[in-house]
Structure 1
Amino acid sequence: MTVYAEATRALTPQGVLRASINLGNPILAGVDAQGAPQGVSVDLARGFAQRLGVELELVVFDAAGKSVEAVRAEQADIGFFAIDPLRGEGISFTAPYVLIEGSYLVRADSPLQSNDEVDQHGRTVTVGKGSAYDLFLTRELKQASIERAPTSPAVVDTFVAQGHDVAAGVKQQLEADAQRIAGLRLLPGRFMVIQQAMGTPKSRGTAAQVALAQFVEDMKASGFVADALARHGIHGASVAPAQTLSN
């Protein structure tokens, strides 16, 4: 348990474990009837605080980019993010604990029938600002243009209001929006798979990184992550494969 004693000192400079929670991704977190944060990431944050033997403080944001910046600026000690090269600057990631599908949504009368038809000149894709989909599509789309909604939950409303061609985001969120707003449909399949991981500032050192990485592997292996997905009624994600940790 030596590594955890050292990790606790590194991860709790304020005397509590501050966890950055992104409410912009419904697969990871949301709020209950009383407005309190709940979800897979909240359960994992509580579990890690218990392992370290410290109190937990949730630092809640409405968008992924804000959540990332909080950890990068050390306003939070851990966070829950999609693994991305840009986000890796200043943050150490664990292996993924959950895999999430990214999908495209269009109007029912759109000529688009497949994902590979999206990247064409003159088409506009709506994404959540700073989301994993924004980062990925900014690199990958060569001809289509990107317009950014303030948050991922606002993508479809922005897409409809602005008359854009495609909305991109978490498959589950898009499915819910398609049920909420008539005349929309998802393109079949997925355009990417998001690897959701935990992360901590690189400045916290090796012991913190090792402890967090081991925690994630333990939670996958024990069934904790699978149980949390089921408990919160999440159907748009799967538990990531185990990863062997180096000594």
Structure 2
Amino acid sequence: MRAAASILAGFAVPPAAAWSQPRTAADGAAREALAPTGRLRAALIVSNPVLVQRDAATGALGGGSVEPARALADSLGVPLEPVPYAIPAQYAESLAGGAPWDAGFAARDPARGEFVGFGPTYMEVDNVFLVPPGSDLATVGDVDRTGMRVAVPRGSAPDLFLSRTLKNAEPVRVPGGVEPAVEVLASGRADAYGENAHLLHGVMARLPSGARILEGRFNVVQMAVAVPEGRGAAGLDHLGRFIAEARRDGTVARAMKRAGLRGVRVHRPER
């Protein structure tokens, strides 16, 4: 986690005035459940630009997890303390190790649900495949073939999903982020890379002409706030009210717009 901490060192999360955050107020039981140390320790996966971005001019952190995390801390009346993870695998390891944080802003997945409880989904993220120049693949349905090598970020939501669903193709697990994705495709070690559409547009721009995102999506990831087991119902009740208001009043939508996210939507529960 030291590398991730260095990424965040010296950079500030903008104050609440930078956006209109939900006004859901917490009672003492909710504050004790979600911020027992007097701070909201928020787990952030910094290699995923859907979740964490840094403003080049100001150095302020933003993105699809940072802004909701700051707003949640404000609703609890406590400061935000980022707990950064450089890659998804480190975040996944923290779940089994007792989760040294209070709220994890990441993908909802059954494998993670063994260790944490989830609040409502606040954001949906399209997962797609990127292929290098010269590939004969056309759609996501073409990928799961014998002999195909599909790279994924180790421990990520795409890794968890494809590990359950691929029948013929071989997963190739690499660290998360743009650089490992560029390397594994440019070197020919993988025939396709599965990740969120926003990150893969950045990867595609780094590859030779002819690299492309296949038609369709292989999964829609639901981003939610994870809470370590045993925190009590009061915390999850507050989280449910907070997320509902954040979706309704535009907090989540504004965070996505400022980050310029592609292939991402506010989750709208079915009525």
The total of aligned residue pairs comes to 244
Query: Within the alignment, does 1:221 sit opposite 2:244 as a pair?
Result: no
User: Which residue does the alignment assign to 1:173?
Assistant: 199
Match for residue 136 of structure 2 among 104, 107, 111: 111
- Contact residue 26 and residue 75 of structure 2 kept, 8 A: no
Match for residue 9 of structure 1 among 8, 28, 32: 32
User: Which residue does the alignment assign to 2:127?
Assistant: 102
User: Which residue does the alignment assign to 1:155?
Assistant: 181
User: Which residue does the alignment assign to 1:89?
Assistant: 114
User: Which residue does the alignment assign to 1:129?
Assistant: 154
Query: Within the alignment, does 1:22 sit opposite 2:45 as a pair?
Result: yes
| 1:223, distance to aligned residue in structure 2 (A) | 1.0
Q: Secondary structure at the match of 1:43?
A: helix
Distance in 1, matches of 2:49 and 2:89, equals 15
Match for residue 80 of structure 2 among 56, 64, 67: 56
| 1:152, distance to aligned residue in structure 2 (A) | 3.8
Q: Secondary structure at the match of 1:80?
A: strand
Q: CA RMSD in A?
A: 1.9
Distance in 1, matches of 2:95 and 2:74, equals 20
Distance in 2, matches of 1:180 and 1:129, equals 21
| 1:15, distance to aligned residue in structure 2 (A) | 2.1
| 1:68, distance to aligned residue in structure 2 (A) | 4.0
119-128 or 37-46, larger mean C-alpha shift: 37-46
Q: Secondary structure at the match of 1:178?
A: helix
Match for residue 208 of structure 1 among 216, 229, 235: 235
Q: What fraction of aligned residue pairs are identical, expressed as a percent? A: 36
Gap regions ≥5 residues in structure 2: 1-23
Q: Secondary structure at the match of 2:230?
A: helix
Q: Secondary structure at the match of 1:84?
A: coil
Instruction: Map 1:176-191 onto structure 2 (within 5 A).
Output: 176-182=202-208, 183-191=210-218
Distance in 1, matches of 2:167 and 2:95, equals 31
Match for residue 77 of structure 1 among 102, 110, 115: 102
Can you list the C-alpha shifts for 1:64-95, whole angstroms capped at 9, x where unaligned? 23224435523110011211100001211112
Q: Secondary structure at the match of 1:203?
A: coil
Give the alignment's TM-score, normalised by structure 1: 0.92
Q: Secondary structure at the match of 1:101?
A: strand
Can you list the C-alpha shifts for 1:137-161, whole angstroms capped at 9, x where unaligned? 0000011101111114322322322
Give the alignment's TM-score, normalised by structure 2: 0.84
- Contact residue 163 and residue 171 of structure 2 kept, 8 A: yes
Gap regions ≥5 residues in structure 1: none
Match for residue 90 of structure 2 among 66, 86, 104: 66
Q: Secondary structure at the match of 2:187?
A: helix
